[in-house]
Amino acid sequence: MKKSVYLLALGTILFSCSNPKTNKEMTKIDQPEVVKLASDSMTPEVLWSFGRIGEPSVSPDKSTVLYAVTHYNIEENKSYRDLYTIQVNGGTPVRITSTPEKESSAQWRPDGKEIGYLSAKSGDMQLWEMNLDGSDPIQISEIAGGISGFKYSPDGSKIIYTADVKMKQDVHDLFPDLPKANAYLENDLMYKHWDEWSQTVPHPFVADYSNGKITNAVDLLEGEPYESPMKPFGGIEQLDWSADSKIVAYTCRKKTGKEYAISTNSDIYFYHVETKQTENKTQGMMGYDQNPVFSPDGKWMAWESMERDGYEADKNRLFLLNLETGEKIDQSVDFDQNSSNLSWSADSKTLYFISCWHALTQVYRLDIADKKIAPVTNGVHDYAFVAEAGSKLVGMKHSMSQPDEIYAIDPSTGAETELSFVNKPILDQLTLAKVEERWIKTTDNKQMQTWVIYPPHFDPNKKYPTLLFCEGGPQSTVSQFWSYRWNFQQMAANGYIVVAPNRRGLPGFGKEWLEQISGDYGGQNMKDYLSAIDEVAKEPFVDKDKLGCVGASYGGFSVFWLAGHHEKRFKAFIAHDGMFNLEQQYLETEEMWFVNWDLGGPYWDKSNAVAQRSYANSPHKFVDKWDAPILVIHGEKDYRILASQGMAAFNAAVLRGVPAQLLIFPDENHWVLQPQNGILWQRVFKQWLDKWMK
């Protein structure tokens, strides 16, 4: 049998097969062939063979978890996504779909008798339903252009769905006699966002649902040029149904153009289904207000709220709205952490959520009666989801040593039991890197948490080349994340010690630590980086003559900046999607609120001391001090930080006579999402470091 070149996990068995997608009714494979890895080391191909779990959902009777698993076929350069169920009390996962259509957004129908999901089987993405075992799929919606998300009303009589709506004329509308013209004609800002030109906006629709049909759809933003959910990352979690199915709460930033580009002021709106009236429930709250969640008893709405307009990394507060009195309550006044992924208990007495503290993301609970917040879990991991499931909780978590898996959690003790085991067959064959926590003194006598990751089979009597990892964001914690690009296990498997500091500007260490970075890009956080690498370099097993520096986004900026200030510390640099020229960046990026807040404003404002300090620290001003080889990587569909930034840095290095290499991905954005591109990224990454550091 000719085997495919990718690995696939089913339950707890790793297998390969010639074509696992030809039998659309397949729920198991008889006599699977166990795949043995060539060695116990992580490789790019192994990394891209892990199953990626997502979209967990608990059944109405709280007995079963529904979730998706995505696998990548490297040879075909594409992904497949299938749906699984597992009992909350454990057992063998059941695969309920096996098709080429990549079913997504699956959720239980409120009566628990069917599963709804999105599929492009008929062309556009539409809503389908199937039996609980995956049989008898039936198409429910026929929406022109397809839909992007949906949610059943609690009583099952209606559905919210989201779909893209064209709200402005394009060149073909304006010049119909030029059908082959290929151009965009724009008159205001936000003409592009993240990785696409902004030609449509998502709108929420409410429709009647009965007998497997959707009828009488109403656009809640009819004729309005606003988006809900909010791009680029918002989904159906930004909308919710009230317990009595009479209100839809939706998230919207009712701004366009320049006003949209400079503001983060979104609000939660209530649409009353019976009267068709809309009201703003967070009027006067100036930052991000999003992700509403109604309590089952109909008394509360919880949501995530930021205080300040224009600050996308502000504290994510946990707010409650008393639906009877209208009172808004900040439940996290004394909780110096972010709150996200809110989820109610069935009795509405407890609100579960996740929060990061000291680079570990745990499940927390808020007791509504006494307003006390307490952690539920404790361990070296990051939770990414939590929901109540009867007497237990269901969570999805990962770490630097394991991709996401589904767990059952005892809410009284925090004890965890793994349910899914998707990646156990691969993990059991690998020798993984040891991950160690250290606290390092900074130049201003603070204590900084730093992760040190050691190569597999680490020998303290040897000397190892060592990498400083620079985090992006800039306000993004170096937590226990599992990445398919910046994967610490992969970097360590290449034979490198990795030093990953939680430098100034990262959440999870209090407001003061987080906010120090704004307006100080070339300041204290750069000293923090150097404190971390200098301290670890004192170890006898670190080859201090073979240090490297790598990072992406703000981490890429950090690499460019350190290349001009490292004082001979580093032998090689790698910068991915980094800001090189901050004046150029101010006018190239799409989300102007970010550069206004973090850089302090425009470079032409000579009276603004904060802005002038930011631009004085732009990496392009220090190219004359570059003296170590640098690899520059960028995606041409990255509209957050344009590829011209990376190209300019590469050109500068070459003109300066500094050894340099440029890796450009024409069809990738701020990330690298395609399998063969991802593997190429890993290979070039390793080759560059091995060339200059080994």
Known catalytic residues are 553, 638, 670
Q: How much helix, strand and coil, in percent to the nearest 5, is found in the chain?
A: 15, 35, 50
Residue 278 phi, psi dihedral angles, 5° rounding: -120, 140
3-state secondary structure 57-79: EECCCCCEEEEEEEEEECCCCEE
Alpha helices by DSSP H, listed for 74-137, are none
Place of tokens 């009276």: 607
3-state secondary structure 600-648: CCCCCCCCCHHHHHHHHCCHHHHHHHCCCCEEEEEECCCCCCCHHHHHH
* Strands 542-552, 572-576: pairing kind: parallel
One-letter identity of residue 427 = L
6 SS3 class: coil
One-letter identity of residue 419 = L
DSSP string, 161-174: EEEEEE-S--HHHH
Give first-to-last CA distance, the chain, whole Å: 41
Residues 6+ apart with CB under 8 A from 506: 359, 471, 473, 474, 475, 476, 477, 478, 513, 514
Contact between 75 and 35 (Cβ < 8 Å): no
Q: Which of 425, 549, 434 is nearest to 492 (CA)?
A: 434
Q: What is the DSSP letter of 686?
A: H
